[in-house]
Structure 1
Amino acid sequence: MKSSRLVSILLLLQTRGRMTAARLAEELEVSVRTVYRDIEALSAAGVPLYGDAGHAGGYRLLDGYRTRLTGLTADEAEALFLAGAPGPAAQLGLGSVLAAAQLKVRAALPAELRPHADRISGRFHLDAPGWYADADETPYLPDVADAVWNCRALHVRYRRWREPTDVERHLEPYGLVLKAGRWYVVAGPGPRTYRVDQILRLTSLEQRFTRPDDFDLAGYWAAYQRDFHHRLRPARAVVRLAPGVSLPGPGQTDAHLEEDGWTRTTVPIESLDHAHAEFLRLGTGIEVLEPQELRDRLARTAAELVERYGSPRTAAGDRPLRQPRRSAHPA
Protein backbone atom coordinates (compact mmCIF):
# COMPACT_ATOMS: atom_id res chain seq x y z
CA MET A 1 0.00 0.00 0.00
CA LYS A 2 1.17 3.52 -0.74
CA SER A 3 0.77 4.77 2.85
CA SER A 4 2.96 1.94 4.18
CA ARG A 5 5.53 2.63 1.48
CA LEU A 6 5.69 6.33 2.37
CA VAL A 7 6.33 5.43 6.01
CA SER A 8 9.08 3.04 4.91
CA ILE A 9 10.80 5.76 2.89
CA LEU A 10 10.72 8.08 5.90
CA LEU A 11 12.19 5.46 8.21
CA LEU A 12 14.88 4.44 5.72
CA LEU A 13 16.05 8.02 5.27
CA GLN A 14 15.86 8.60 9.01
CA THR A 15 17.98 5.59 9.91
CA ARG A 16 20.39 5.40 6.94
CA GLY A 17 20.79 9.00 5.87
CA ARG A 18 21.21 9.91 2.20
CA MET A 19 19.84 7.34 -0.28
CA THR A 20 19.44 7.42 -4.03
CA ALA A 21 16.13 6.77 -5.75
CA ALA A 22 17.57 3.57 -7.22
CA ARG A 23 18.59 2.32 -3.77
CA LEU A 24 15.18 3.15 -2.31
CA ALA A 25 13.49 1.35 -5.20
CA GLU A 26 15.64 -1.73 -4.56
CA GLU A 27 14.81 -1.74 -0.83
CA LEU A 28 11.06 -1.30 -1.42
CA GLU A 29 10.93 -3.57 -4.48
CA VAL A 30 9.25 -0.94 -6.66
CA SER A 31 10.26 1.04 -9.72
CA VAL A 32 12.37 4.21 -9.58
CA ARG A 33 9.42 6.07 -11.13
CA THR A 34 7.28 5.01 -8.14
CA VAL A 35 9.92 6.35 -5.74
CA TYR A 36 9.90 9.71 -7.54
CA ARG A 37 6.12 9.92 -7.11
CA ASP A 38 6.36 8.99 -3.43
CA ILE A 39 9.04 11.63 -2.81
CA GLU A 40 6.79 14.25 -4.42
CA ALA A 41 3.90 13.12 -2.18
CA LEU A 42 6.04 13.42 0.96
CA SER A 43 7.28 16.87 -0.04
CA ALA A 44 3.71 18.02 -0.72
CA ALA A 45 2.77 16.83 2.76
CA GLY A 46 5.42 19.10 4.31
CA VAL A 47 8.20 16.60 4.98
CA PRO A 48 11.56 18.45 4.60
CA LEU A 49 13.16 16.29 1.91
CA TYR A 50 16.13 17.42 -0.16
CA GLY A 51 17.53 15.87 -3.30
CA ASP A 52 21.12 16.29 -4.48
CA ALA A 53 22.22 15.48 -8.02
CA GLY A 54 25.50 13.93 -9.01
CA HIS A 55 27.46 10.78 -8.26
CA ALA A 56 27.29 11.29 -4.47
CA GLY A 57 23.73 12.62 -4.56
CA GLY A 58 20.46 11.26 -3.31
CA TYR A 59 17.56 12.14 -1.06
CA ARG A 60 17.94 13.09 2.57
CA LEU A 61 15.91 14.59 5.40
CA LEU A 62 16.61 18.03 6.81
CA ASP A 63 19.23 17.75 9.59
CA GLY A 64 17.53 17.31 12.95
CA TYR A 65 14.20 16.20 11.49
CA ARG A 66 12.87 12.98 12.96
CA THR A 67 9.43 11.50 12.76
CA ARG A 68 7.82 9.92 15.82
CA LEU A 69 5.82 7.66 13.53
CA THR A 70 6.99 4.06 13.92
CA GLY A 71 4.72 2.49 11.34
CA LEU A 72 4.31 -0.59 13.55
CA THR A 73 1.32 -2.80 12.97
CA ALA A 74 -0.21 -4.95 15.70
CA ASP A 75 1.55 -8.05 14.30
CA GLU A 76 4.89 -6.23 14.19
CA ALA A 77 4.52 -5.06 17.79
CA GLU A 78 3.78 -8.63 18.90
CA ALA A 79 6.76 -10.03 16.97
CA LEU A 80 9.06 -7.40 18.49
CA PHE A 81 8.31 -8.52 22.03
CA LEU A 82 8.39 -12.19 21.08
CA ALA A 83 11.93 -11.73 19.75
CA GLY A 84 13.28 -10.72 23.15
CA ALA A 85 14.74 -13.85 24.75
CA PRO A 86 15.46 -13.03 28.43
CA GLY A 87 17.46 -16.19 29.14
CA PRO A 88 20.18 -15.70 26.49
CA ALA A 89 20.25 -11.95 27.18
CA ALA A 90 20.91 -12.61 30.86
CA GLN A 91 23.73 -15.05 29.97
CA LEU A 92 25.35 -12.28 27.92
CA GLY A 93 25.01 -9.86 30.82
CA LEU A 94 22.31 -7.90 29.01
CA GLY A 95 19.22 -8.91 31.02
CA SER A 96 18.66 -5.49 32.56
CA VAL A 97 19.47 -3.79 29.26
CA LEU A 98 16.84 -5.86 27.45
CA ALA A 99 14.23 -5.09 30.11
CA ALA A 100 14.96 -1.36 29.90
CA ALA A 101 14.83 -1.42 26.09
CA GLN A 102 11.47 -3.21 26.06
CA LEU A 103 10.10 -0.71 28.58
CA LYS A 104 11.17 2.19 26.36
CA VAL A 105 9.76 0.57 23.22
CA ARG A 106 6.46 -0.10 24.99
CA ALA A 107 6.25 3.53 26.13
CA ALA A 108 6.84 4.70 22.54
CA LEU A 109 4.15 2.45 21.08
CA PRO A 110 0.80 3.95 20.20
CA ALA A 111 -1.76 3.26 22.93
CA GLU A 112 -3.76 0.88 20.73
CA LEU A 113 -0.71 -1.38 20.22
CA ARG A 114 0.39 -1.72 23.85
CA PRO A 115 -2.12 -4.47 24.71
CA HIS A 116 -0.75 -6.54 21.82
CA ALA A 117 2.79 -6.29 23.19
CA ASP A 118 1.63 -7.25 26.70
CA ARG A 119 -0.39 -10.17 25.33
CA ILE A 120 2.53 -11.72 23.44
CA SER A 121 4.79 -11.52 26.49
CA GLY A 122 2.16 -13.19 28.67
CA ARG A 123 1.31 -16.03 26.27
CA PHE A 124 4.64 -17.10 24.78
CA HIS A 125 7.88 -17.99 26.53
CA LEU A 126 11.05 -19.04 24.70
CA ASP A 127 13.14 -21.70 26.45
CA ALA A 128 16.06 -22.69 24.21
CA PRO A 129 17.83 -25.57 26.07
CA GLY A 130 16.73 -29.17 25.58
CA TRP A 131 15.17 -31.37 28.25
CA TYR A 132 17.74 -34.13 28.57
CA ALA A 133 20.94 -32.19 29.04
CA ASP A 134 22.31 -30.11 31.87
CA ALA A 135 22.92 -26.46 31.10
CA ASP A 136 26.45 -25.79 29.87
CA GLU A 137 28.71 -23.81 32.17
CA THR A 138 29.92 -20.82 30.16
CA PRO A 139 31.86 -18.59 32.58
CA TYR A 140 33.70 -16.85 29.72
CA LEU A 141 30.61 -16.01 27.67
CA PRO A 142 30.46 -12.30 28.72
CA ASP A 143 34.17 -11.94 27.87
CA VAL A 144 33.67 -13.52 24.46
CA ALA A 145 30.64 -11.31 23.82
CA ASP A 146 32.66 -8.22 24.75
CA ALA A 147 35.42 -9.31 22.34
CA VAL A 148 32.85 -9.81 19.56
CA TRP A 149 31.40 -6.36 20.12
CA ASN A 150 34.73 -4.52 20.39
CA CYS A 151 36.67 -6.54 17.78
CA ARG A 152 39.25 -7.54 20.39
CA ALA A 153 41.41 -10.63 19.91
CA LEU A 154 41.49 -13.44 22.48
CA HIS A 155 44.00 -16.05 23.54
CA VAL A 156 42.26 -19.16 24.85
CA ARG A 157 43.03 -22.64 26.06
CA TYR A 158 40.44 -24.82 24.35
CA ARG A 159 39.37 -28.44 24.82
CA ARG A 160 38.53 -30.31 21.63
CA TRP A 161 37.39 -33.88 21.04
CA ARG A 162 40.52 -35.29 19.35
CA GLU A 163 44.10 -35.62 20.56
CA PRO A 164 45.73 -33.49 21.74
CA THR A 165 42.56 -32.42 23.51
CA ASP A 166 43.78 -29.22 25.20
CA VAL A 167 45.19 -26.68 22.75
CA GLU A 168 46.11 -22.99 22.66
CA ARG A 169 44.25 -20.82 20.16
CA HIS A 170 44.37 -17.19 19.01
CA LEU A 171 40.81 -16.11 18.18
CA GLU A 172 39.35 -13.12 16.39
CA PRO A 173 35.66 -13.47 17.36
CA TYR A 174 33.27 -12.48 14.56
CA GLY A 175 29.98 -13.49 16.19
CA LEU A 176 28.08 -15.64 18.70
CA VAL A 177 25.42 -18.23 17.91
CA LEU A 178 22.99 -19.88 20.35
CA LYS A 179 21.96 -23.33 19.09
CA ALA A 180 19.74 -25.63 21.19
CA GLY A 181 20.87 -23.99 24.43
CA ARG A 182 24.57 -24.15 23.56
CA TRP A 183 26.72 -21.10 22.70
CA TYR A 184 29.19 -21.15 19.81
CA VAL A 185 31.68 -18.46 18.81
CA VAL A 186 32.59 -18.07 15.14
CA ALA A 187 36.14 -16.73 14.99
CA GLY A 188 38.93 -16.06 12.55
CA PRO A 189 41.29 -16.89 11.14
CA GLY A 190 39.31 -19.22 8.96
CA PRO A 191 36.71 -18.64 10.24
CA ARG A 192 36.09 -21.65 12.46
CA THR A 193 33.48 -22.57 15.08
CA TYR A 194 34.21 -23.15 18.78
CA ARG A 195 32.00 -24.16 21.69
CA VAL A 196 32.14 -21.48 24.36
CA ASP A 197 31.69 -23.99 27.18
CA GLN A 198 34.91 -25.74 26.08
CA ILE A 199 37.05 -22.65 26.70
CA LEU A 200 39.20 -23.56 29.71
CA ARG A 201 41.08 -20.30 30.06
CA LEU A 202 40.75 -16.92 28.37
CA THR A 203 42.93 -13.84 28.08
CA SER A 204 41.58 -10.70 26.46
CA LEU A 205 44.31 -9.07 24.34
CA GLU A 206 44.90 -5.41 23.59
CA GLN A 207 45.21 -6.36 19.93
CA ARG A 208 42.21 -5.44 17.81
CA PHE A 209 41.19 -6.96 14.52
CA THR A 210 39.15 -5.88 11.51
CA ARG A 211 36.02 -7.93 10.98
CA PRO A 212 35.60 -8.74 7.26
CA ASP A 213 33.00 -6.43 5.73
CA ASP A 214 31.50 -9.26 3.68
CA PHE A 215 31.19 -11.72 6.57
CA ASP A 216 27.57 -12.84 7.03
CA LEU A 217 27.10 -14.65 10.36
CA ALA A 218 23.69 -16.13 9.48
CA GLY A 219 24.92 -17.28 6.07
CA TYR A 220 28.07 -18.82 7.55
CA TRP A 221 26.06 -20.70 10.19
CA ALA A 222 23.63 -22.09 7.62
CA ALA A 223 26.55 -23.39 5.52
CA TYR A 224 28.28 -24.76 8.63
CA GLN A 225 25.19 -26.75 9.60
CA ARG A 226 24.85 -28.20 6.09
CA ASP A 227 28.49 -29.28 6.15
CA PHE A 228 28.11 -30.68 9.67
CA HIS A 229 25.18 -32.90 8.68
CA HIS A 230 27.05 -34.04 5.59
CA ARG A 231 30.09 -35.03 7.67
CA LEU A 232 27.85 -36.62 10.32
CA ARG A 233 26.18 -38.92 7.79
CA PRO A 234 28.69 -39.48 4.98
CA ALA A 235 27.38 -42.88 3.82
CA ARG A 236 24.11 -43.97 2.20
CA ALA A 237 21.79 -46.96 2.52
CA VAL A 238 19.06 -48.14 0.18
CA VAL A 239 16.05 -49.41 2.13
CA ARG A 240 12.43 -50.47 1.72
CA LEU A 241 9.89 -49.17 4.22
CA ALA A 242 6.57 -50.83 5.03
CA PRO A 243 3.36 -48.80 4.59
CA GLY A 244 3.06 -46.24 7.39
CA VAL A 245 6.73 -46.53 8.41
CA SER A 246 9.00 -43.50 8.10
CA LEU A 247 12.55 -42.60 9.04
CA PRO A 248 13.28 -39.39 10.97
CA GLY A 249 15.64 -36.74 9.71
CA PRO A 250 16.30 -35.04 6.36
CA GLY A 251 18.30 -36.26 3.39
CA GLN A 252 16.13 -39.06 1.95
CA THR A 253 16.29 -39.24 -1.85
CA ASP A 254 14.90 -41.26 -4.75
CA ALA A 255 11.81 -42.34 -2.81
CA HIS A 256 9.19 -44.16 -4.84
CA LEU A 257 6.23 -46.40 -4.08
CA GLU A 258 6.49 -50.02 -5.21
CA GLU A 259 3.67 -52.36 -6.28
CA ASP A 260 3.41 -54.09 -2.90
CA GLY A 261 2.86 -50.75 -1.10
CA TRP A 262 6.38 -50.53 0.30
CA THR A 263 8.52 -47.43 -0.34
CA ARG A 264 12.05 -47.72 -1.66
CA THR A 265 14.36 -44.83 -0.73
CA THR A 266 17.99 -43.85 -0.18
CA VAL A 267 18.87 -42.49 3.28
CA PRO A 268 22.06 -41.02 4.81
CA ILE A 269 23.68 -43.05 7.60
CA GLU A 270 26.34 -42.04 10.11
CA SER A 271 28.03 -45.47 10.23
CA LEU A 272 27.22 -49.17 9.91
CA ASP A 273 27.06 -49.54 13.70
CA HIS A 274 24.70 -46.59 14.11
CA ALA A 275 22.47 -47.66 11.20
CA HIS A 276 22.35 -51.25 12.51
CA ALA A 277 21.01 -50.04 15.86
CA GLU A 278 18.58 -47.51 14.35
CA PHE A 279 17.10 -49.88 11.76
CA LEU A 280 16.63 -52.71 14.29
CA ARG A 281 14.19 -50.45 16.13
CA LEU A 282 11.85 -50.61 13.15
CA GLY A 283 11.70 -54.41 13.28
CA THR A 284 9.93 -55.91 10.26
CA GLY A 285 8.95 -52.44 9.01
CA ILE A 286 12.23 -52.02 7.14
CA GLU A 287 14.34 -54.04 4.71
CA VAL A 288 17.91 -52.97 3.91
CA LEU A 289 18.96 -53.57 0.31
CA GLU A 290 22.33 -51.81 0.32
CA PRO A 291 25.07 -51.83 1.49
CA GLN A 292 25.39 -55.59 1.55
CA GLU A 293 27.53 -55.53 4.71
CA LEU A 294 24.73 -53.82 6.64
CA ARG A 295 22.14 -56.22 5.22
CA ASP A 296 24.28 -59.20 6.27
CA ARG A 297 24.74 -57.82 9.80
CA LEU A 298 20.99 -57.39 10.24
CA ALA A 299 20.40 -60.91 8.90
CA ARG A 300 22.87 -62.35 11.42
CA THR A 301 21.18 -60.42 14.24
CA ALA A 302 17.77 -61.72 13.15
CA ALA A 303 19.10 -65.29 13.05
CA GLU A 304 20.57 -64.92 16.54
CA LEU A 305 17.21 -63.64 17.82
CA VAL A 306 15.40 -66.65 16.31
CA GLU A 307 17.94 -69.00 17.87
CA ARG A 308 17.55 -67.32 21.24
CA TYR A 309 13.77 -67.14 21.35
CA GLY A 310 12.83 -70.07 19.13
CA SER A 311 9.95 -70.23 16.64
CA PRO A 312 6.82 -68.20 17.48
CA ARG A 313 4.12 -70.41 19.01
CA THR A 314 0.46 -70.13 19.87
CA ALA A 315 -0.70 -69.47 23.39
CA ALA A 316 -1.20 -73.25 23.81
CA GLY A 317 2.40 -73.78 22.74
CA ASP A 318 1.69 -76.73 20.42
CA ARG A 319 1.75 -75.18 16.93
CA PRO A 320 4.03 -72.58 15.35
CA LEU A 321 2.32 -69.41 14.19
CA ARG A 322 2.03 -69.05 10.44
CA GLN A 323 4.22 -66.21 9.16
CA PRO A 324 2.70 -63.67 6.77
CA ARG A 325 3.95 -63.93 3.19
CA ARG A 326 5.90 -61.05 1.71
CA SER A 327 7.06 -60.19 -1.72
CA ALA A 328 10.49 -61.45 -2.65
CA HIS A 329 13.46 -59.12 -2.45
CA PRO A 330 13.93 -57.59 -5.91
CA ALA A 331 17.05 -58.65 -7.71
Structure 2
Amino acid sequence: MALGIDIYRYQTVTDWNAVRGSGVSFVYVKGSDGGGPALVRADAQVRGAQSVDLPVGLYHYAQLSPSPEAQANVLTAEVRRLDATGLPPALDLEDPHRPGPAARDFAFRFLNQLRANGFQSVTLYANTSMLTGINADTIGVPNTIVWAAQYGPNDGRRHPLRYNGRANIHQYTSVGGVPGISGQVDLNESLTELPGADMPLTQDDINRVANAVWEQHRPLLHDWSVMNPMWVWLVGANMGAWEAATRPFPPPPNPEEAVQKLAEAIAVPLREELSQRNGEPDVDAIAVAIARRFVPTEPTPTDQQA
Protein backbone atom coordinates (compact mmCIF):
# COMPACT_ATOMS: atom_id res chain seq x y z
CA MET A 1 0.00 0.00 0.00
CA ALA A 2 1.29 3.45 -0.88
CA LEU A 3 0.26 7.05 -0.27
CA GLY A 4 -0.46 9.26 -3.26
CA ILE A 5 -1.75 12.75 -4.00
CA ASP A 6 -3.61 14.33 -6.89
CA ILE A 7 -3.11 18.03 -7.45
CA TYR A 8 -4.05 20.95 -9.65
CA ARG A 9 -3.83 24.74 -9.52
CA TYR A 10 -5.55 24.83 -6.15
CA GLN A 11 -2.48 23.30 -4.49
CA THR A 12 0.82 25.15 -4.24
CA VAL A 13 3.80 22.88 -3.74
CA THR A 14 6.53 24.74 -1.90
CA ASP A 15 8.93 21.87 -1.22
CA TRP A 16 8.91 18.69 -3.28
CA ASN A 17 11.56 17.07 -1.10
CA ALA A 18 9.27 17.53 1.89
CA VAL A 19 6.40 15.99 -0.07
CA ARG A 20 8.45 12.92 -0.85
CA GLY A 21 9.85 12.80 2.68
CA SER A 22 6.33 12.74 4.13
CA GLY A 23 5.73 9.35 2.54
CA VAL A 24 4.01 10.34 -0.70
CA SER A 25 5.03 7.84 -3.36
CA PHE A 26 2.91 8.72 -6.41
CA VAL A 27 1.35 11.85 -7.90
CA TYR A 28 -1.45 12.56 -10.36
CA VAL A 29 -1.69 16.04 -11.89
CA LYS A 30 -4.58 17.46 -13.89
CA GLY A 31 -3.30 17.65 -17.44
CA SER A 32 -6.31 18.31 -19.64
CA ASP A 33 -9.97 19.28 -19.56
CA GLY A 34 -12.52 18.66 -22.31
CA GLY A 35 -11.08 19.63 -25.66
CA GLY A 36 -7.81 21.16 -24.50
CA PRO A 37 -5.05 21.25 -21.90
CA ALA A 38 -5.90 22.23 -18.34
CA LEU A 39 -6.45 25.95 -17.76
CA VAL A 40 -3.20 25.98 -15.80
CA ARG A 41 -0.69 23.74 -17.53
CA ALA A 42 0.70 20.81 -15.56
CA ASP A 43 4.33 21.58 -16.44
CA ALA A 44 5.54 22.93 -13.10
CA GLN A 45 3.89 20.25 -10.98
CA VAL A 46 5.02 17.41 -13.24
CA ARG A 47 8.58 18.70 -13.33
CA GLY A 48 8.54 19.11 -9.56
CA ALA A 49 7.46 15.52 -8.97
CA GLN A 50 10.00 14.26 -11.48
CA SER A 51 12.74 16.28 -9.80
CA VAL A 52 12.43 14.10 -6.68
CA ASP A 53 11.83 10.87 -8.62
CA LEU A 54 8.15 10.53 -7.75
CA PRO A 55 6.10 8.58 -10.31
CA VAL A 56 3.75 11.10 -11.89
CA GLY A 57 0.86 10.74 -14.31
CA LEU A 58 -1.81 13.00 -15.77
CA TYR A 59 -5.59 12.92 -15.46
CA HIS A 60 -8.22 14.36 -17.79
CA TYR A 61 -11.44 16.02 -16.62
CA ALA A 62 -14.17 14.70 -18.91
CA GLN A 63 -16.67 17.08 -20.48
CA LEU A 64 -19.69 16.20 -22.64
CA SER A 65 -17.94 17.38 -25.79
CA PRO A 66 -15.95 16.93 -27.94
CA SER A 67 -16.00 13.18 -28.55
CA PRO A 68 -14.35 10.86 -26.02
CA GLU A 69 -11.76 9.94 -28.65
CA ALA A 70 -10.86 13.60 -29.21
CA GLN A 71 -10.56 14.18 -25.46
CA ALA A 72 -8.37 11.10 -25.06
CA ASN A 73 -6.09 12.43 -27.79
CA VAL A 74 -5.73 15.72 -25.90
CA LEU A 75 -4.60 13.84 -22.79
CA THR A 76 -2.23 11.70 -24.85
CA ALA A 77 -0.59 14.78 -26.33
CA GLU A 78 0.00 16.27 -22.87
CA VAL A 79 1.43 13.01 -21.51
CA ARG A 80 3.84 12.83 -24.42
CA ARG A 81 4.77 16.50 -24.21
CA LEU A 82 5.64 16.24 -20.51
CA ASP A 83 6.87 12.63 -20.54
CA ALA A 84 4.47 12.07 -17.63
CA THR A 85 4.58 8.29 -17.92
CA GLY A 86 5.17 7.32 -14.31
CA LEU A 87 1.51 6.30 -13.94
CA PRO A 88 -1.16 5.25 -16.44
CA PRO A 89 -3.13 8.21 -17.86
CA ALA A 90 -6.43 8.69 -16.05
CA LEU A 91 -9.99 9.61 -17.00
CA ASP A 92 -11.74 11.72 -14.33
CA LEU A 93 -15.43 10.92 -14.86
CA GLU A 94 -17.75 13.12 -12.80
CA ASP A 95 -20.02 16.14 -13.40
CA PRO A 96 -21.39 16.91 -15.97
CA HIS A 97 -21.60 13.16 -16.62
CA ARG A 98 -24.21 11.13 -14.77
CA PRO A 99 -24.13 7.43 -13.90
CA GLY A 100 -25.70 5.37 -16.65
CA PRO A 101 -25.24 4.01 -20.18
CA ALA A 102 -24.04 7.30 -21.71
CA ALA A 103 -21.27 7.70 -19.14
CA ARG A 104 -20.31 4.05 -19.53
CA ASP A 105 -20.06 4.48 -23.30
CA PHE A 106 -17.94 7.61 -22.85
CA ALA A 107 -15.55 5.82 -20.49
CA PHE A 108 -15.28 2.79 -22.76
CA ARG A 109 -14.49 4.87 -25.84
CA PHE A 110 -12.08 7.21 -24.02
CA LEU A 111 -10.09 4.40 -22.43
CA ASN A 112 -10.05 2.39 -25.65
CA GLN A 113 -8.64 5.41 -27.47
CA LEU A 114 -5.86 5.68 -24.90
CA ARG A 115 -5.06 2.04 -25.56
CA ALA A 116 -5.10 2.67 -29.30
CA ASN A 117 -2.67 5.54 -28.68
CA GLY A 118 -0.20 3.08 -27.22
CA PHE A 119 -0.81 2.99 -23.47
CA GLN A 120 -0.76 -0.54 -22.09
CA SER A 121 -2.53 0.43 -18.85
CA VAL A 122 -5.18 3.10 -18.29
CA THR A 123 -6.95 4.50 -15.22
CA LEU A 124 -10.62 5.26 -14.57
CA TYR A 125 -11.36 7.68 -11.71
CA ALA A 126 -14.87 8.23 -10.35
CA ASN A 127 -16.78 8.20 -7.10
CA THR A 128 -18.28 4.89 -6.11
CA SER A 129 -21.78 5.92 -7.20
CA MET A 130 -20.50 6.56 -10.72
CA LEU A 131 -18.45 3.36 -10.75
CA THR A 132 -21.51 1.37 -9.71
CA GLY A 133 -23.74 3.20 -12.19
CA ILE A 134 -21.50 2.39 -15.16
CA ASN A 135 -20.66 -1.11 -13.88
CA ALA A 136 -16.95 -0.35 -14.05
CA ASP A 137 -15.96 -3.96 -13.37
CA THR A 138 -17.25 -4.94 -16.81
CA ILE A 139 -16.11 -1.87 -18.75
CA GLY A 140 -14.29 -4.17 -21.15
CA VAL A 141 -11.00 -2.28 -21.53
CA PRO A 142 -7.96 -4.43 -20.66
CA ASN A 143 -5.57 -3.33 -17.92
CA THR A 144 -7.88 -0.69 -16.49
CA ILE A 145 -6.86 0.65 -13.08
CA VAL A 146 -9.95 1.63 -11.06
CA TRP A 147 -9.50 4.70 -8.87
CA ALA A 148 -12.44 4.96 -6.47
CA ALA A 149 -13.33 8.13 -4.57
CA GLN A 150 -15.16 7.66 -1.28
CA TYR A 151 -14.51 9.94 1.70
CA GLY A 152 -16.73 8.71 4.53
CA PRO A 153 -16.73 11.55 7.10
CA ASN A 154 -13.98 13.31 5.07
CA ASP A 155 -11.90 14.16 8.12
CA GLY A 156 -8.47 13.77 6.55
CA ARG A 157 -8.10 10.16 7.67
CA ARG A 158 -8.58 6.97 5.70
CA HIS A 159 -11.73 4.99 6.40
CA PRO A 160 -12.58 1.59 4.92
CA LEU A 161 -13.68 1.64 1.30
CA ARG A 162 -17.28 0.44 1.14
CA TYR A 163 -17.63 -0.54 -2.47
CA ASN A 164 -18.47 -3.95 -3.89
CA GLY A 165 -16.51 -3.52 -7.10
CA ARG A 166 -12.82 -3.82 -7.83
CA ALA A 167 -10.60 -0.88 -6.84
CA ASN A 168 -6.87 -0.33 -7.22
CA ILE A 169 -6.68 3.15 -5.66
CA HIS A 170 -8.85 4.66 -2.93
CA GLN A 171 -9.16 8.46 -2.81
CA TYR A 172 -10.20 8.78 0.82
CA THR A 173 -10.24 12.50 1.60
CA SER A 174 -10.21 15.92 -0.01
CA VAL A 175 -8.98 17.71 3.12
CA GLY A 176 -5.63 16.05 3.63
CA GLY A 177 -2.44 17.79 4.63
CA VAL A 178 1.04 17.08 3.31
CA PRO A 179 4.29 18.82 4.31
CA GLY A 180 5.55 20.91 1.42
CA ILE A 181 2.05 21.69 0.11
CA SER A 182 0.11 24.74 1.22
CA GLY A 183 -3.59 24.13 1.59
CA GLN A 184 -5.67 20.99 1.56
CA VAL A 185 -4.98 18.16 -0.84
CA ASP A 186 -6.66 14.95 -1.99
CA LEU A 187 -5.07 11.86 -0.45
CA ASN A 188 -5.08 8.41 -2.00
CA GLU A 189 -4.03 4.93 -0.98
CA SER A 190 -2.99 2.39 -3.59
CA LEU A 191 -4.57 -0.99 -2.90
CA THR A 192 -2.47 -2.84 -5.48
CA GLU A 193 0.87 -2.24 -7.16
CA LEU A 194 0.52 0.47 -9.80
CA PRO A 195 2.11 0.10 -13.23
CA GLY A 196 3.67 2.89 -15.24
CA ALA A 197 2.14 4.15 -18.44
CA ASP A 198 4.24 1.62 -20.42
CA MET A 199 4.06 3.83 -23.45
CA PRO A 200 5.87 2.26 -26.43
CA LEU A 201 8.33 4.17 -28.54
CA THR A 202 6.78 6.82 -30.73
CA GLN A 203 7.85 7.36 -34.33
CA ASP A 204 10.07 10.25 -33.21
CA ASP A 205 11.70 8.00 -30.61
CA ILE A 206 12.41 5.33 -33.22
CA ASN A 207 13.71 7.93 -35.66
CA ARG A 208 16.29 8.97 -33.08
CA VAL A 209 17.33 5.35 -32.56
CA ALA A 210 17.52 4.67 -36.28
CA ASN A 211 19.50 7.83 -37.00
CA ALA A 212 21.96 6.97 -34.25
CA VAL A 213 22.42 3.47 -35.69
CA TRP A 214 22.91 4.93 -39.16
CA GLU A 215 25.55 7.45 -38.08
CA GLN A 216 27.49 4.96 -35.97
CA HIS A 217 27.29 1.94 -38.27
CA ARG A 218 26.97 3.38 -41.78
CA PRO A 219 29.51 0.99 -43.43
CA LEU A 220 27.91 -2.04 -41.81
CA LEU A 221 24.45 -1.14 -43.03
CA HIS A 222 25.67 -0.38 -46.56
CA ASP A 223 27.01 -3.93 -46.79
CA TRP A 224 23.65 -5.56 -46.14
CA SER A 225 20.36 -5.71 -47.94
CA VAL A 226 17.97 -3.23 -46.34
CA MET A 227 14.91 -3.97 -48.42
CA ASN A 228 12.07 -3.49 -45.97
CA PRO A 229 10.28 -0.17 -46.63
CA MET A 230 9.51 0.01 -42.89
CA TRP A 231 13.14 0.99 -42.33
CA VAL A 232 12.77 3.95 -44.66
CA TRP A 233 9.64 5.00 -42.76
CA LEU A 234 11.44 4.75 -39.44
CA VAL A 235 14.11 7.17 -40.58
CA GLY A 236 11.93 9.54 -42.55
CA ALA A 237 13.65 12.48 -40.90
CA ASN A 238 16.91 11.40 -42.53
CA MET A 239 15.60 10.11 -45.85
CA GLY A 240 18.40 11.51 -47.97
CA ALA A 241 21.03 9.54 -46.13
CA TRP A 242 19.04 6.38 -46.61
CA GLU A 243 18.55 6.51 -50.36
CA ALA A 244 21.78 4.63 -50.92
CA ALA A 245 21.13 2.22 -48.06
CA THR A 246 17.84 1.07 -49.60
CA ARG A 247 19.39 -0.02 -52.90
CA PRO A 248 19.05 -3.76 -53.48
CA PHE A 249 22.07 -5.67 -52.21
CA PRO A 250 22.56 -9.45 -52.21
CA PRO A 251 21.61 -11.16 -48.96
CA PRO A 252 24.52 -11.45 -46.52
CA PRO A 253 26.34 -14.79 -46.51
CA ASN A 254 25.11 -15.54 -43.01
CA PRO A 255 21.73 -13.84 -42.38
CA GLU A 256 21.51 -14.88 -38.72
CA GLU A 257 24.94 -13.41 -38.03
CA ALA A 258 23.82 -10.23 -39.77
CA VAL A 259 20.71 -10.11 -37.57
CA GLN A 260 22.78 -10.45 -34.40
CA LYS A 261 25.31 -7.79 -35.44
CA LEU A 262 22.63 -5.35 -36.47
CA ALA A 263 20.74 -6.06 -33.23
CA GLU A 264 23.88 -5.18 -31.27
CA ALA A 265 24.09 -1.90 -33.17
CA ILE A 266 20.42 -1.11 -32.54
CA ALA A 267 20.53 -2.06 -28.85
CA VAL A 268 22.88 0.75 -27.82
CA PRO A 269 20.70 3.75 -28.77
CA LEU A 270 17.55 1.75 -28.02
CA ARG A 271 18.72 1.15 -24.47
CA GLU A 272 19.38 4.87 -24.08
CA GLU A 273 15.89 5.66 -25.40
CA LEU A 274 14.22 3.26 -22.97
CA SER A 275 16.38 4.09 -19.95
CA GLN A 276 13.91 6.67 -18.59
CA ARG A 277 10.83 4.51 -19.09
CA ASN A 278 9.09 2.34 -16.54
CA GLY A 279 9.49 -1.37 -16.22
CA GLU A 280 12.41 -3.48 -17.40
CA PRO A 281 12.04 -4.02 -21.15
CA ASP A 282 14.20 -6.71 -22.76
CA VAL A 283 16.20 -4.35 -24.95
CA ASP A 284 18.21 -7.13 -26.60
CA ALA A 285 15.07 -9.03 -27.61
CA ILE A 286 13.48 -5.86 -28.98
CA ALA A 287 16.65 -5.08 -30.94
CA VAL A 288 16.73 -8.57 -32.47
CA ALA A 289 13.07 -8.26 -33.44
CA ILE A 290 13.78 -4.92 -35.14
CA ALA A 291 16.87 -6.29 -36.88
CA ARG A 292 14.90 -9.20 -38.33
CA ARG A 293 12.73 -6.68 -40.16
CA PHE A 294 15.72 -5.30 -42.00
CA VAL A 295 17.80 -8.38 -42.83
CA PRO A 296 16.22 -11.10 -45.01
CA THR A 297 16.78 -14.44 -43.30
CA GLU A 298 14.31 -16.51 -45.31
CA PRO A 299 15.21 -17.77 -48.79
CA THR A 300 13.75 -15.61 -51.56
CA PRO A 301 11.78 -17.27 -54.41
CA THR A 302 14.87 -16.80 -56.61
CA ASP A 303 17.06 -18.55 -54.05
CA GLN A 304 14.61 -21.44 -53.85
CA GLN A 305 14.53 -21.82 -57.62
CA ALA A 306 18.31 -21.88 -57.73
Larger relative contact order (CA 8 Å, sep ≥ 6)? 2
TM-score using structure 2 length: 0.24
Higher strand share: 1
Structure having the higher Rg:
1
